[in-house]
Structure 1
């Protein structure tokens, strides 16, 4: 597929997206925030002395907010799957 915008031509590949619902992507992000928290935890004293104690709490906040995002993505995926199932039942 080609799109012409102004004097430029853009070629777009006909490829499906890898992660439509975002569950895997958010899961990886949540895991990385937790890993960052656990990696910084032994160094809390030094981080706090250097004025970087907020790094630890940022990782914890990222993990916590990521859990909310993960639940949101799971519910959205479940709702989309139910809609697809209902639509396929209607076609039968």
Structure 2
């Protein structure tokens, strides 16, 4: 799979959020604020995983349709991958 610039930008944004959380912890910020930011990071990571899996799924389905192969197992595998990640 080829990862495009959008995925890279998402991950860089998450990286920045993590650095921000580290900075908050160094400053002794309130637990609630730190946990809220961690929750935002978790949500961003979940969305990024969804984008990666859906993009890959789309590519795989297109390839299988072009070659006349079944697509059922690919869809099932993608769903299982997302379910396991939670």
Cα–Cα, structure 1 residues 67 and 26, in superposed 2: closer, same or farther, change >3 Å? farther
Count of aligned residue pairs for this structure pair: 63
Distance in 1, Cα, partners of 2:12 & 2:26: 21
| 1:37 and 1:59 in contact (8 A); partners too | yes
Provide TM-score, normalisation by structure 1: 0.51
Query: Whose Rg is larger?
Result: 1
Structure in which a larger fraction of residues adopt helix: 2
Residue ranges of structure 1 left out of the alignment (5+ in a row): 1-17, 45-52
Provide TM-score, normalisation by structure 2: 0.54
Name the Cα RMSD after superposition: 2.5
Cα–Cα, structure 1 residues 60 and 37, in superposed 2: closer, same or farther, change >3 Å? farther
Residue from 42, 46, 64 that aligns with 1:67: 42
Structure in which a larger fraction of residues adopt strand: 1
Q: What's the CA shift for 1:58?
A: 3.6
Q: What's the CA shift for 1:80?
A: 1.2
Misfit runs of 4+, over 3 Å:
56-60
Cα deviation code 1:13-47 (max 9, x no counterpart) = xxxxx622244224313311321222112xx5xxx
Residue ranges of structure 2 left out of the alignment (5+ in a row): 68-86
Q: Secondary structure at 2:6's aligned position in 1?
A: coil
| 1:26 and 1:66 in contact (8 A); partners too | no
